[in-house]
Amino acid sequence: MAIAFYLLHNKTPKVSHICPLNNENIVTLGDSIANGFGVNEKDSFAIQIPQSLGKNPIKLGIDGETTNGLLARIDNELNKINSIAMIIISIGGNDFLRKLPEDSTKRNLDAIISKAKKHTNCIVIISVPSGILGGLTGGISSIYNEVAKKYNILVESRSMPKILKDISLKLDQIHPNKEGHNLITNNVLDLVNKHK
């Protein structure tokens, strides 16, 4: 009886084996962090992660991108690509910096994930804090976990809070340097390898 109650009420997403990585391309979408702002191309996580997994990298980040901008272009970007093994998304930071309404950011993120799920079940969101306080305390915005739970996808929540608090991991107030990108790479690989 206790087991049945636990199974009925346990809301943890069932994310095991959602990243078999059977296809060839790993696509990274989003903002300047996804675009590898300020670091050499080969050092960005968008290139390092696919190469570490023996896959082809496709980097589609745009500096200054918001969830609204990514939502407007995601169909056009993904419909041009076949054989997608994984999609990595880094988005939301510019929404928070510009103080855009969080409910709008969440709706956009929900729609982005819904569209990405048509191409692969293996989706990783790199989450960020929702403001200065979150950056100082190391917490991420709750919208990432809420959307991830709904769509049964992965959230990488360790990297950006650490980068934002550690000057040795960033180029400026926001952007990761080479060491920061290495951290993101290692954390995403660790997460994905647990769910192959």
Return d(Cα 28, Cα 160) in angstroms, integer.
16
All structural domains of the chain, each given as residue ranges with its CATH number in brackets, are 14-193 (3.40.50.1110)
Model pLDDT for residues 36-68, shown as the tens digit of each residue: 999 999 999 999 999 999 999 999 999 999 999
Q: pTM higher than 0.75, yes or no?
A: yes
Mean pLDDT of 131-158: 82
- For residue 137, what pLDDT is reported? 52
Q: What percent of the chain has pLDDT over 90?
A: 85
Phi, psi of 176 (to 5 degrees): -65, 145
Confidence of residue 3 (pLDDT cuts 50, 70, 90): very low
Burial class (CB in 10 A: 0-12, 13-18, 19+), 118: exposed
**Mean pLDDT for the chain overall:** 91
